[in-house]
Structure 1
Amino acid sequence: MTTTGIRPSPATERPAHRDGNVLRWLGAYSASAVGDNVYYLALSWAVIQSGSPAQAGLVMAVSAVPRALLMLGGGVVADRFGPRRVVIGSDAVRCVAVFSVAGLLLLTSPGVWALAALGFVFGAVDALFMPAVGALPARITARHQLARVQGMRGLVIRLANVVGAPLGGLGVALGGPAAAFGVAGLLFAASLPLLMSVRIAKLPAERGGQRGERRGEHRGEHRGEHRGEHRGEQGEGAAEGTEAGRTAWHELADGLRYIRGHRVLAPLMVVVALADLGFVGPLNIGLTLLADERGWGASGVGLVLAGFGAGAGGSALLLTVRGRLPRAGLLLCVTCATGAVGIAAVAYLPSLAAAAGAALLVGLLVGLTGALASALAQTESDPRYVGRVTSVAGLVSLGVAPLTYPLTGWAVGAWGTAPVFTAGAATCALAGVYGLGSRALRAAELPTAAPRG
């Protein structure tokens, strides 16, 4: 029997949460995610000490520009060179960058320019890291385990948010921003040996979810076997190397054409983009302004965010335990549309406790939407395109949406918080309705385990 990669046979296959290979990746991702949170706190504190509030806002926004400009190219890099290599390189660069700034802060006062340069470097590295880290699960576990892996990843993100900020604050309290940057660097460094120990599956010729399987039925087995002979023997990067003669622009255009022509991925990308545009601004900027308007204070913001985090953690735990939810495409669209109601409710409910309760509902529904979207994007994609698909999915939330923060603030100043939250909720609802209008997306399912024996 011919094997493709490291995946064991169905009879001996372990679930993702018991797979040492997946757990090593999860440990590396945990260290990196906590390091991110420590880094952002250290950067904001260092900028506030070195410059004006306006300069602080500018430095914090600098990283969004290269992320927006380079994100799609990051997907090409992940597909060409392999996601593990890109993630290792990204964490190594981040480690060196934060240690360098920590050293500068210990020896001198580098000024805002050095901190802005650090933010720019991080934004550029994130443009490579995000598509690669999104593409990596498909190379370390079986397709029917990807939803569970997304749940585990969601739990790590919530844990990093809870642990990272206090850890960064402790570093600042004990040794200033330099110490906090040092803590972040140590966490990035800790991820490297774990990542290097992760085993990567070889790419089969065409394993593009249900659509790829249907193609295999109609186009014949000889073509797939012939491709597999040439692509599957050299491990990570083997299949990527077959496109080495093509330019990055050609590969990017090829990936975009692939998404546009895919019956499930094309509407899924639209749903993801609309949902992110409707959700990110109200949560990150509108909530702070709403708390100021209502007199809730910083503790009120924290309580509402805690409600959202608890809900998102609950949805991640559900996927981790269940591993698969039926009618995933339909469920994604319904949770997106119904979660929009909670987004609007946050701005209209009269009490802080009620707003926190609405945020809990939003976190549960929107968190489930995001996890299902990631799992479907990976299972429906041909493995050769997963990095590019991930980069398109993350472009709006990680690159474009942060650039709308000034517009969100201006809109709140002009019309108030309630209309802005309502507009965001309407955009999220439109995303769900659009998805429901796609028969292919409504019918999309996460794969089940292969028959045993």
Structure 2
Amino acid sequence: MTSTLIAPGATIGKPAHRDPNVLRWLAAYTSSMVGDSVYYIALSWAAVQQGSPAQAGAVMAVSAVPRALLMLGGGVIADRFGPRRVVIGSDLVRCAAGLSVAALLFLTSPGLWPLALLAVVFGTVDAVFMPAVGALPARVTTRDQLARVQGMRGLAIRFASVVGGPLGGLAVAFGGAAAAFGLAGLLIAVSVPLLISVRMREPAVDDKAEAGGGSADAGDASDAGEGAGGRGAAPDAAALGAPDSEARGATAPDKAPARTTTPLGDLQAGLRYIRAHRVLAPLMLAIALGDLGFVGPLNVGLTLLADERGWGASGMGWVLSGFGVGAGAAALLLTVRGRLPHAGRVAGWAILAGSVAIGALAFVPGVLAAVGVALLVGLLAGLSGALCGALLQTQADPAYLGRVTAVSSLVSLGFAPLSMPLSAAAIGAWGTGPVFVGSAAVCGLGGVVALCVRDLWRAELPG
């Protein structure tokens, strides 16, 4: 695999939404996410057809275990081997696994065991895929465009959720679960040549997070391999097949640096780096509190609220649509504007205002009002989420970005879902109103952290 290098001092010169290189990355990411959505439709349908509802639920949940357990290690892998190489390898494995199960289902009726195995494979691969996906934007655009890329990524996620479900349903309707798994594998496969065509760049010195934002100590830098090639010596120009003017001072982002440390040492260095960083440490806490207060009410809580109010499945669907439209509008805003001033302050106030809207959702009189409140929740949550993601991208040293993304993903996808069974049990005991208000209070604490920690409150996006 070869990479076309952009010299560290060079800038792309185009906004991200007009840069063909970024658009190729976006197309690859979107295709992979749509494939993921189709995969989950196929897995749920096949599991229901092959077993009981309880068994189907177990198959759907089994992928969460390796994803949560291995996520931090996935961040180390992304930083050690390069995010693009890890993403391409992950997509190839997911594609092969999906197509293999499609062929198996087409030829025979194997029961639940291959579905459970497929879920474990996807969960394991996700543990390395997610941190690498988070670290990749810094290698395809300049630092001042990373906020816009976060908005573009949010639009891709919204598009995948809107398109993937109907595509999966149509595939199941016309060809069964085997056709849906095959379609998912092909959609994921499309991302591979697109990613190979994306030009990589090594973040320049002035593209990196400001040293004043917090950094690891000298020992941490050594552990991360910076002194031995984390962003180290330039490779030989002839070996890369590139002119001296392109290669001088550049490090091939997909080349594994020469390291003398162990993966465990890299993981420990990454955790120390986050803990010592004056912006990243409180930002992780704000994200954790915001997600803990948000996930329960907007998942299991909304279902129970719709049942209690007699809205039915269609009413709940409209409320979820309102949330999706609001989140999409926030992503579009950041895509068009590229950055918002006072990012840390805006994120904090958005989390606080969003928490008030979450609490209000349990007390609205009808479906129409609930849709309006959900749209507001989506707008505020989408805005705060995009800004927090952009701050993670721009504040983190590129050498640690995989590990930083891994911790953030673990908080959002590993710990926050634990609030769902707790929310369900609490609603059963006390009702929807008190639980939504309590969840809103937890979410609001994330905004309080963002507004009370001076370095996070003053954090800005480059541009």
Question: TM-score w.r.t. structure 1 length?
Answer: 0.92
**Bigger CA drift: 306-315 or 108-117?**
108-117
Deviation at 1:406, TM superposition (A): 2.4
Give the aligned partner of residue 130 of structure 1. 130
Deviation at 1:41, TM superposition (A): 0.8
Please give the per-residue CA displacement for 1:408-447, whole angstroms capped at 9, x wherever unaligned: 2222222222222222211110110011110000000001
Alignment-mate amino acid for residue 130 of structure 2: M
SS in structure 2 at match of 1:348: coil
Residue 219 of structure 1 corresponds to which residue in structure 2? none
**Structure 1 residues 95, 229: CA separation in 2 closer, same or farther (over 3 Å shift)?**
closer
Q: How far off is 1:170 after superposition?
A: 0.2
**Matching residue's letter, 1:5:** I
Q: Which amino acid aligns with 2:354?
A: G
User: Where in structure 1 are there 5+ consecutive unaligned residues?
Assistant: 216-223, 449-453
Partners of 2:344 and 2:459 within 8 A in 1: yes
Aligned to 1:94: 94
**Equivalences for residues 282-431 of structure 1 within 5 A:** 282-431=297-446
Deviation at 1:198, TM superposition (A): 0.9
1:133-144 paired onto structure 2 within 5 Å: 133-144=133-144
The CA distance in 2 between the partners of 1:52 and 1:214, in whole Å, is 52
The 1:213/1:205 distance shift into structure 2, 3 A limit, reads: farther
Q: 1:399 to 1:122 in 2, by over 3 A?
A: same
What is the alpha-carbon distance in structure 1 between the residues aligned to residue 105 and residue 358 of structure 2? 41
Amino acid at match of 1:236: P
| Matched residue SS, 1:230 | coil
2:233 pairs, out of 230, 234, 251, with 230
Partner of 1:220: none
The answer to whether the Cα contact below 8 Å between 2:131 and 2:406 also exists between their aligned partners in 1 is: yes
Deviation, 1:226, is: 11
> Take 1:279 and 1:347, find their aligned partners in 2: how far apart are those partners?
13
Distance 1:316 1:173 in 2: 32
Structure 1 position 36, deviation (Å): 0.8
Alignment of 1:26-41 (within 5 A): 26-41=26-41
| 8 A contact 1:212–1:382 mirrored in 2 | no
Deviation at 1:213, TM superposition (A): 8.6
**Match of 1:401, as an amino acid?**
A
Q: Deviations over 1:234-264 (max 9, x none)?
A: 40244x514x321111101100100111111
Inter-partner Cα distance in structure 1 for 2:385 and 2:416: 15
Match for residue 261 of structure 2 among 234, 237, 246? 246
- 1:59-78 maps to which residues of 2 (within 5 A)? 59-78=59-78
In structure 1, the partner of 2:222 is none
Residues 7, 13 of structure 1: 8 Å contact kept: no
> Does the aligned pair in 1 maintain the 2:143–2:207 contact within 8 Å?
no
> 2:210 is paired with a residue of what secondary structure?
helix
**C-alpha distance in 2, partners of 1:212/1:266?**
14
Instruction: Give the deviation of 1:8 after TM superposition.
Output: 7.4
In the TM superposition, what is the alpha-carbon distance from 1:207 to its structure 2 partner? 5.0
Letter matched to residue 80 of structure 2: R
Q: Is the 2:8–2:205 Cα contact (8 Å) retained in structure 1?
A: no
Tell me the equivalent position of 2:220: none
Displacement of 1:206: 8.2
Deviation at 1:212, TM superposition (A): 6.0
Task: Note the C-alpha offset of 1:110.
Answer: 1.7
- What CA deviation, in whole Å up to 9, does each residue of 1:254-312 have, x standing for no partner? 00100111111110010011111111121121111211222212111210110000000
Letter in 1 for 2:257: G
Deviations 1:349-401 (A, max 9, x none): 11011111111001101101111111111111111001111111111211222
Q: CA–CA distance in 1 between the matches of 2:126 and 2:408? A: 14
Alpha-carbon contact 1:206-1:383 (below 8 Å) kept: no
Kept in 2, the 8 Å contact 1:90–1:125? The answer is: yes
Q: CA RMSD in A?
A: 2.1
1:230 corresponds to which letter in structure 2? Answer: A
One-letter code aligned to 1:274: L
Question: Residue deviations 1:323-345, cap 9 Å, x none?
Answer: 01000010011100110011111
Change (3 A) 1:255 1:276: same
Tell me the distance in 2 between the aligned counterparts of 1:146 and 1:203.
12
Task: Tell me the TM-score normalised to structure 2 length.
Answer: 0.90
Aligned to 1:5: 6
Q: Kindly indicate whether the alpha-carbon contact (under 8 Å) linking 1:63 and 1:121 is maintained by their aligned counterparts in 2.
A: yes
Distance 2:420 2:448 in 1: 25
Amino acid at match of 1:394: S
Counting only pairs closer than 5 Å after superposition, residues 133-172 of structure 1 correspond to structure 2 as 133-172=133-172
Identity of aligned residues (%): 64
Deviation for aligned residue 1:201: 1.0
- 8 Å CA contact 1:311–1:361 kept in 2: the answer is yes
- Name the stretch that deviates more: 395-404 or 334-343: 395-404
Q: Is the 8 A contact 1:64 1:403 kept in 2?
A: no
- 1:180-221 Cα shifts (integer Å, max 9, x gaps): 111101100111100111111125468541236998xxxxxx
In 2, are the aligned partners of 1:206 and 1:382 still within 8 Å (CA)? Answer: no
* 1:28 shift after superposition: 0.3
Higher mean displacement: 249-258 or 109-118: 109-118
**Cα separation, 1, equivalents of 2:397 and 2:154:** 24
Contact 1:296–1:352 (CA under 8 A) maintained in structure 2: yes
In structure 1, the residue matched to 2:246 is none
Give 1:218's aligned residue.
none
Give the structure 2 partner of residue 451 of structure 1: none
Cα distance, 1:266–1:130 mapped onto 2, change above 3 Å: same
Is the Cα–Cα contact under 8 Å of residues 213 and 395 in structure 2 kept in the other structure?
no
Q: CA deviation at 1:229?
A: 6.2
Note the residue ranges of structure 2 that are not aligned, 5 or more in a row: 216-225, 235-248
Distance in 2, matches of 1:25 and 1:305, equals 28
Number of aligned residue pairs: give it: 435
Alignment CA distance shift 1:145-1:71 (3 Å)? same
What is the alpha-carbon distance in structure 2 between the residues aligned to residue 226 and residue 413 of structure 1?
56
Amino acid at match of 1:235: A
Give the secondary structure class of the aligned counterpart of 1:326. coil
